[in-house]
Structure 1
Amino acid sequence: MRTIDINCDMGESFGSFTIGSDETIIAAVSSANIACGFHAGDPLVMDRTVRLAKENGVGVGAHPGFPDLMGFGRRKIQTFPGEITRYLIYQIGALAAFATAHGVNLQHVKPHGALYNMAAADEAVAREVVEAVRAVNGNLILVCQPGSVLAHMAEKEGLRVAREVFPDRAYLADGRLAPRNLPGAVIHDPQAVRDRVVRLLEERVLFSLDGEKIPLEADTLCVHGDTPGAAELARIIRKELEEAGIAVEPMGRFL
């Protein structure tokens, strides 16, 4: 039986601000990417989200990003050499400490937002991400876009890689995620998301914004927790997978 993971960005509330619906969506996913306080999240939210993941049998992962609360980590930031590595070590270490406090192992690392996109294409950024993960724990899974610079570099350096596909995000013809400022970049229609999952399962392809077929292999499917209707999208995706005879499990159980 084929197995796949469904991951979701979670724990992105902070202070008095609530973002996403973690308590609702947690039942439909198998891995949680938990914000580590730089682009979102705070110590109280991190603690609560790790506990929520443990109670629901969901794998715990760190979701580190640029120090950019104002821009939710979606703005490119110019850094000095080695700065990104240290940003990630700091954030992964913080989330790992909460995981230890709750008696669970940290499963994976998924860079957030602009950092994720930059590492997919920029060798210097990708190298800093790989160095950070290896420095903290070389057994952690690194979540990457399939075929990206980061995925190739991580595999070459001996890290475990989870190839990630976004059913609720549009792609460009070259396989990159469509920038969020483009019309149609985020897909809100549950039926459209369902159709994309079916096509991905049956044909291992998605269509780009301009209609080009993009071949994609997936170990994990991402649903964005801050997308309106995210919980319903996650339920639809999981139902479609299970009806197709595909088991949904945390990525650490099969990678």
Structure 2
Amino acid sequence: MVIDLNCDMGESFGAWTMGDDAGVMPWVSSVNIACGFHAGDFMTMQRTVILAAEHGVAIGAHVSLPDLQGFGRREMAISPNETHAATLYQIGALAAFVHAQGQRLHHVKPHGALYNMAAKDPKLAEAIANAVHDFDPRLVLFGLAGSALPHAGAQLGLVVAHEAFADRRYRDDGSLTPRREDGAVIHDVDAAVAQAVQIAAHGNASTRDGKRVDIRADTICVHGDRPDAAIFAQRLNAALKSAGVGIGRIAS
């Protein structure tokens, strides 16, 4: 049994630093690098790509709505055509830095509000999947497990990765509890690690209402903006291995 551990990275901007990318990197198998729309800038993108290449982890583009002030977590009205163009724009920007390091871009994962919108809206999901396919059909598309986004990617013949979250509380329908609601984020490391192991080893998680929801996961996200992200990633890596779950990137 093998699962991918991915982390959102490269979210610093200018003189402002977010996350401990260097501390997290050794414990994950894939990274999703911000492409400048919700976080990141050209120097941060370059540094993060170099760091990822040094550790041999899979590099992905973390594409977002154009919302720097809101960190990409605010929904906005965006058409499928705009979504397609914005996704292509961001993939291309990161791919330039990846190419310059002699690496190959491995995957694409939407961020924040765009991620949640595409999980429910088939038209937006199709627009993102089409952009990924148009850029490089070998790319893997990450999306919320069982949602419209991996379905749209599979329809196009893309390799898709159904994603679960260690530190987000699930609702009974398998969707994520919105961040604006109390208890949406699991801050306790022990509880978050336990949820990730439960998902990876048993294919289910407890919901906020105390029920069980089935979750098929190929990859589990470690949020890089947690203040304890490096410790969390290390603990999660060790716990999964102790449970007999290997760590490895998604084959593309």
Paired residue secondary structure (1:142)? strand
| In 1: Cα distance, 2:10 partner to 2:80 partner | 29
Instruction: Report if the CA contact (8 A) 1:188-1:229 is conserved.
Output: no
Alignment match, 1:220 = 219
Instruction: Tell me the CA shift for residue 36 of structure 1.
Output: 0.3
Root-mean-square deviation (Å)? 1.1
Instruction: Tell me the CA shift for residue 185 of structure 1.
Output: 0.7
Paired residue secondary structure (1:38)? coil
| In 2: Cα distance, 1:202 partner to 1:173 partner | 20
The TM-score with structure 1 as length reference comes to 0.96
Instruction: Report if the CA contact (8 A) 2:5-2:220 is conserved.
Output: yes
| In 1: Cα distance, 2:79 partner to 2:109 partner | 21
Q: 1:210 to 1:243 in 2, by over 3 A?
A: same
Q: Any idea what the Cα deviations from partners look like across 1:106-146, whole Å, max 9, x if unmatched?
A: 00000010000000000111111011101101110000111
User: 1:56-75 counterparts in 2 under 5 A?
Assistant: 56-75=55-74
Alignment match, 1:22 = 21
User: 1:150-189 counterparts in 2 under 5 A?
Assistant: 150-189=149-188
- Percent same amino acid at aligned positions? 49
Q: Any idea what the Cα deviations from partners look like across 1:128-175, whole Å, max 9, x if unmatched?
A: 101110110111000011110111121111111011110111111111
Alignment match, 2:234 = 235
Instruction: Tell me the CA shift for residue 197 of structure 1.
Output: 2.4
Instruction: Report if the CA contact (8 A) 1:39-1:69 is conserved.
Output: yes
Q: Any idea what the Cα deviations from partners look like across 1:77-123, whole Å, max 9, x if unmatched?
A: 11234001000100000111100000110000000100000000001
2:52 counterpart letter in structure 1: A
Paired residue secondary structure (1:110)? strand
Paired residue secondary structure (2:68)? coil
Instruction: Report if the CA contact (8 A) 1:170-1:208 is conserved.
Output: yes
| In 1: Cα distance, 2:233 partner to 2:7 partner | 9
Paired residue secondary structure (2:17)? coil
Instruction: Report if the CA contact (8 A) 2:201-2:243 is conserved.
Output: no
Instruction: Report if the CA contact (8 A) 1:188-1:228 is conserved.
Output: no
Paired residue secondary structure (1:73)? coil
User: 1:1-255 counterparts in 2 under 5 A?
Assistant: 2-251=1-250, 254-255=251-252
Paired residue secondary structure (1:161)? strand
Q: Any idea what the Cα deviations from partners look like across 1:176-213, whole Å, max 9, x if unmatched?
A: 11100111111111110122123223421101111121
Instruction: Tell me the CA shift for residue 24 of structure 1.
Output: 0.7
Instruction: Report if the CA contact (8 A) 1:14-1:41 is conserved.
Output: yes
Instruction: Report if the CA contact (8 A) 2:201-2:245 is conserved.
Output: no
For structure 1, which segment, 234-243 or 102-111, has the greater mean C-alpha deviation from structure 2 after superposition? 234-243
For structure 1, which segment, 42-51 or 177-186, has the greater mean C-alpha deviation from structure 2 after superposition? 177-186
Paired residue secondary structure (1:51)? helix
